[in-house]
Amino acid sequence: MTVPANGWTWRLHDPTGGVVDPDDLGVAVPVEDAQAEAESWLGEHWRELLERGAASATLVRGDTVVYGPMGLAAS
């Protein structure tokens, strides 16, 4: 997926840390206009992502990593 330079989205990772295509998990990760919107989306969907095989997520803006990866499992 190509992310616009100012778009905020999540890069998903499997348990080994490899990048996972959201289509392979049957989910659509949106590109948001603001960091808070992207973070809210993950807050609402992390359980589903975990159930479908994602183990962690990295917040990106365009091609730049903002933070992560962070684990999706509840601690």
Q: What is the mean pLDDT of residues 2-31?
A: 93
- Assigned domain for 70 exists: no
Residue 4 has pLDDT above 90, yes or no: no
H runs (alpha helix) in 1-75 = 22-25, 35-51
41 within domain boundaries: yes
**Confidence at residue 41, expressed as pLDDT on a 0 to 100 scale:** 98
Q: List the domain range (segments joined by +) for residue 40.
A: 8-59
Asked if the structure places residue 64 within a domain, the reply is no
pLDDT confidence of residue 1: 63
Residue at 31: amino acid letter = V
Summarize pLDDT for 23-65 with one digit per residue, the tens: 999 999 999 999 999 999 999 999 999 999 999 999 999 999 9
**Helices then strands, each counted (H, E), the chain:** 2, 4
The total domain count for the chain is: 1
